[in-house]
Chains A and B, each alone.
Chain A
Amino acid sequence: MSAQAVYVLWLRDMKWFLRAKGRLISTFVMPFLWLAILGMGLGAVIQMPGGGSFIDFLTPGIVGMAILFSATMSGVSVLWDKQFGFMKEILVAPVSRISIMIGKALGGATTSIIQGVMLLFVAALIGARMPGIAGFLIAFLFMIILALGFVSLGLAIASRIGDPVAFPIVINFLIMPLFFLSGAIFPISTAPGWLQTLAYINPVTYGVDGLRGAILGTSQFPLWLDFAVLGLFSLAMILLGAYLFKKMKA
């Protein structure tokens, strides 16, 4: 493991993130629209089962969504690096594959967490309920675990797919159902049985529930359970990502 290599790969991701203004805006606009339009539009007509406003309920879900999508999508940088040849420069260096994978994972996780946090502030601006310091820190912890898990999943898929154009299609196909079946936009407890079952086996459910518990103080499962399930899932993804990344052809 080379700390220098991990750091410089992370640094490069940060530079890209800050330089690509267009991408920055577009990854932010979609969740914002969800929050503003869905939250305010539907919020006017929807009565939440346990009381409270719909936008309060929706905020943790949309924060989770922003992280879920941007973390998984960040794997595409591997494919662009291959396409433009820079991957050769990385892979021929005297550093282990695992350092490269960790550097990439931390870079992708950081950018998606930044987006999650920014979204939380936007939600505050349009009137969603905000947590205290402790709640915020717990939410932050859930964001990190969620991001690391899905960045690793993205890297795992990227190391099996060669084509940077096909990648987002595959990811959307995979992530969309995970998002819709996670309780991000409707409460699971009142959903039909089959939907509940699907939600229970979906790791994103526990991420969203954990975020909701941290931000609103009410969650369906105890926070330790959310933490344990999501943590195990993310650990598994990190191991899978590291394994597949190591086997990736130069």
Chain B
Amino acid sequence: MKPAIETRDLTKEFNGLVAVDHVDLQIEKGELFGLLGPNGAGKTTLIHMLCTILPPTEGTAKVAGFDIHRTPDSVRKAIGIVFQDPSLDGRLTSRENLDFHGRVYGMDKAQREKRIADVLKLVDLEDRAKALVQTYSSGMRRRLEIARGLMHHPKIMFMDEPTLGLDPQTRRSIWDHIQMLNKQEKITILLTTHYMDEADYLCDRVGIIDHGKIISLGKPEKLKDELKGDIVSLEVAQPKKYVEIFQRAKYVKEVTVVKDQLHLTVTGGERTIPKLMEIVTRRGGKVRSVGLRSPTLEDVFIRYTGRGIREEEAGAKEQMRMMVRAHSR
């Protein structure tokens, strides 16, 4: 079986900045694949190239079996897209937004009417179908964008941060919708996210992307298992001071510093904590707090990049996006 998406050396440069760096990726039919990475990792740029709205600087890709350079129109017909930023017309009703979409994708009247009813039902928006989209909440808009992406029966859906800036309940309900599309409608899905839990919960496979490169790829469980052990976090003053000492301890497999915390990958967390604390005390330091947990995808990310995925973010940029979304029409 041919893969749904296949990229070769796919690269995009913006005036010397390499946003996507020689990516080789293969996504099978029916897969729910997640691209996990921090702000600016190149997720959106990668998706835009696959959607044929951004020409690559180098490399090629096949989407649904079609070459993005040679047959962009066939690619476009085969895919549905939920863009990261809002892209609805607020001065039209949701029905009109969907009808617009159906027409530009060449559906006839009967097809459109049936499909509009179906997709509105799928995302639970039937009651508000006649209201102007500018009166919708951001969760409703997101669901409508998903419905719109589905209008023309795409084989592959791209969803760029489908739950960015939504409250936990809404995120849950969108997750359910995404899973249903994948399992029941058999649509291959490529989604991007910088939420660990989203990638972990939803995706069959996850590719971790940073600075335009895929640095690790596999099933979420497998990625976490590779860390082999538990994560102990110690909050101390001047954590960098202890890195070398802990690296020498044989029961510590990895040490990273994340802000004022030391993250230690260890075997048998419960039994090693006292030993770790003793080391700090012996150096005259003081442990302010201790944490013990199983590894998450965040730890996988830290291991490959040496920093937390949400470290410099959840800050200005995301908040601004949410505001933009809330204010747009």
Q: Which residues of B contact A16 (CB under 8 A)?
A: 91
**Known interface pairs A84-B90, A85-B86, A92-B76; A5-B53 also in contact (CB < 8 Å):** no
**CB of B85 within 8 Å of the partner chain:** yes
A94 near B73: Cβ-Cβ < 8 Å: yes
Enumerate chain B residues within 8 angstroms of A4, measured Cβ to Cβ: 103-104, 106
Query: In the assembled complex, how far is the CB of residue A97 from the closest CB belonging to chain B, in whole angstroms?
Result: 12
The B-contacting residues of A in range 50-93, CB under 8 angstroms, are: 84-86, 88-93
Q: Is B88 an interface residue, CB under 8 A from the partner? A: yes
Closest partner residue, chain B, to A89 (CB atom): B87
A7 contact from B83, B96, B103, Cβ within 8 A? B103
Contacts of B275 in A (CB 8 A): none
Is B105's beta carbon under 8 Å from chain A? Answer: yes
A2 to chain B, nearest CB (A): 7
Task: Evaluate contact between A5 and B104: CB separation under 8 angstroms.
Answer: yes
| Minimum CB distance partner of A4 in chain B | B103
Q: Return the chain A residue nearest B97 by Cβ.
A: A89
Closest to B48 in A: A250
User: A15 contacts the other chain (Cβ, under 8 Å)?
Assistant: yes
Distance between A249 CB and nearest chain B CB, rounded to angstroms: 9
List A residues 215-250 near B (Cβ within 8 Å): 250
Known contacts A85-B85, A90-B104, A94-B73; A250 and B53 CB within 8 A of each other: yes
A4-B106, A15-B91, A250-B53 given as contacts; is B76 within 8 A of A94 (CB)?
yes
A160 lies within 8 A of chain B by Cβ: no
Question: Which range holds the interface residue count of chain B?
Answer: 20 to 34
The docked-state distance in angstroms from the alpha carbon of A250 to that of B81 is: 15
Cβ-defined contact, A92 with B51, below 8 A: yes
Asked whether, in the complex, the Cβ of A85 is within 8 Å of the Cβ of B51, the reply is: no
Nearest B residue to A94 by beta-carbon distance? B76
State whether A89 and B53 are in contact (beta carbons under 8 Å apart), knowing that A2-B106, A84-B90, A94-B73 are contacts in the complex. Answer: no
At the interface, yes or no: B328 with Cβ under 8 Å from chain A? yes
Closest to B89 in A: A86
**Cβ distance B233 to chain A, nearest Cβ, rounded Å:** 40
A5 to B83, CA, bound (A): 21
A33 within 8 A of B: no
Q: Bound complex: CA of A92 vs CA of B54, how far in Å?
A: 10
CB <8 Å contact, A85 and B328: yes
Taking a contact as CB atoms closer than 8 A, the residue among B48, B90, B104 that contacts A93 in the complex is: B104
**CB-nearest residue of chain B to A83:** B328
Query: Contact flags (1/0) for A177-209 with B, using CB distance below 8 Å?
Result: 000000000000000000000000000000000
What are the interface flags for A1-27 relative to B under an 8 Å C-beta threshold, 1 for contact and 0 otherwise? Answer: 010110110001001100110000000
Contact with A along B197-233 (1 / 0, CB 8 A): 0000000000000000000000000000000000000
Label chain B's interface by main secondary structure: loop
Judge if B153 is at the interface, Cβ distance under 8 Å: no
Complex interface: chain A residues within 8 A of B88 (CB): 85-86, 89
Q: How far is the CB of B207 from chain A (nearest CB, A)?
A: 23
List CB contacts (< 8 Å) of B98-133 with chain A.
99-101, 103-106
Q: B103 touching A5 by the CB < 8 A rule?
A: yes
Q: List the B side residues contacting A85 at CB < 8 Å.
A: 83, 85-88, 328
Asked if A92 meets B105 with Cβ closer than 8 Å, knowing A12-B92, A16-B91, A85-B86, the reply is no
**Given B48, B87, B103, B105, which contacts A86 in the complex, CB threshold below 8 Å?**
B87
B54 cross-chain contacts in A, Cβ below 8 A: 250
Q: How far is the CB of A20 from chain B (nearest CB, A)?
A: 8
B104 in contact with A19 (CB, 8 Å)? no
Q: Chain A nearest CB: distance from B99 CB in Å?
A: 8
CB-CB contacts below 8 Å: B21-66 with A: 48, 51-54
Q: Which of B53, B77, B81, B89 has the most CB of A within 10 A?
A: B89
Q: With the chains together, A84 CA to B105 CA distance in Å? A: 21
Of B52, B53, B76, B101, which contacts A88 at CB under 8 A? B53
Kindly state whether residue B329 has any CB partner on chain A within 8 Å. yes
| Interface presence of A98 (CB below 8 A) | no
A95 at the interface (CB under 8 A from B): yes
Say whether B104 contacts A2, CB under 8 Å: yes
Interfacial chain A residues near B104, Cβ < 8 Å: 2, 4-5, 8, 90, 93-95
- Given contact pairs A12-B92, A86-B88, A89-B87, enumerate 18 new A-B contacts (beta carbons under 8 Å): A2-B104, A2-B106, A8-B99, A8-B100, A8-B103, A15-B92, A20-B91, A84-B90, A86-B89, A88-B87, A89-B83, A89-B101, A89-B148, A92-B53, A93-B105, A94-B76, A94-B104, A250-B54
Give me the 9 closest cross-chain CB pairs, A-B, nearest first. Answer: A85-B87, A94-B76, A93-B104, A8-B103, A250-B53, A94-B73, A89-B87, A4-B103, A5-B104
List chain A positions with a Cβ less than 8 A from chain B: 2, 4-5, 7-8, 12, 15-16, 19-20, 84-86, 88-95, 250
